[in-house]
């Protein structure tokens, strides 16, 4: 069973990236929106953990990411600052490449599903999705 926190969990891609693994796998997801009340219908799912917070709040972010296998960040805004906070919470990482490039929502959701369903895929790696 894969454990994946979805940061920025209320976004459109994040909602698809939540639905797909819950429907197609035995993955457990930790949803991390800024306002948890937006996702309360999912809180009754035994495979969903709901934690309200901002990715810049280090203590809450570290708690949400503890024991996770893969991290999916569905964020906008100050990407560099957010990426640094996420990497710091993971205690490792690589530079975030090309944050201004356009990538389709379906492409990102597809990668998230591959991370959740592919045994060992992406484990211990820092993956970024960007236009070539």
* 31 bridge partner residues: 6, 50
DSSP state of 95: P
Q: What is the CATH number of domain 3-117?
A: 3.40.50.720
Under a CB-based contact definition with an 8 Å cutoff, are residues 94 and 122 in contact? no
In the chain, the percentage of residues whose pLDDT exceeds 90 is 35
pLDDT digits (tens, 9 = 90+) for 58-97: 899 999 988 888 888 998 899 889 988 988 888 753 444 5
Under a CB-based contact definition with an 8 Å cutoff, are residues 58 and 89 in contact? yes
Instruction: Please tell me the distance from the alpha carbon of residue 53 to that of residue 57, in angstroms, as a whole number.
Output: 7
Instruction: Please tell me the distance from the alpha carbon of residue 89 to that of residue 83, in angstroms, as a whole number.
Output: 10
More confident site: 8 or 100: 8
Name the phi and psi angles at 6, rounded to 5.
Answer: -115, 105
Tell me the domain boundaries of the chain: 3-117
pLDDT at site 57: 94
Average pLDDT, the chain: 84
């Amino acid at each position: 069973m894969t454990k994946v926190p979805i940061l920025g969990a209320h976004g459109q891609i994040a909602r698809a990236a939540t639905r797909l693994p819950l429907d197609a796998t035995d993955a457990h997801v930790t949803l991390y929106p800024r306002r948890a009340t937006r996702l309360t219908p999912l809180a009754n799912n035994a495979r969903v953990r709901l934690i309200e917070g901002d990715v810049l709040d280090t203590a809450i972010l570290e708690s949400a990411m503890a024991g996770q296998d893969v991290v999916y960040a569905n964020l906008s805004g100050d990407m560099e600052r957010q990426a640094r906070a996420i990497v710091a919470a993971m205690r490792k990482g690589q530079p975030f490449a090309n944050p201004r490039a356009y990538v389709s929502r379906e492409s990102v959701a597809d990668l998230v599903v591959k991370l959740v369903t592919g045994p060992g895929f992406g484990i211990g790696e820092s993956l970024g999705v960007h236009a070539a």
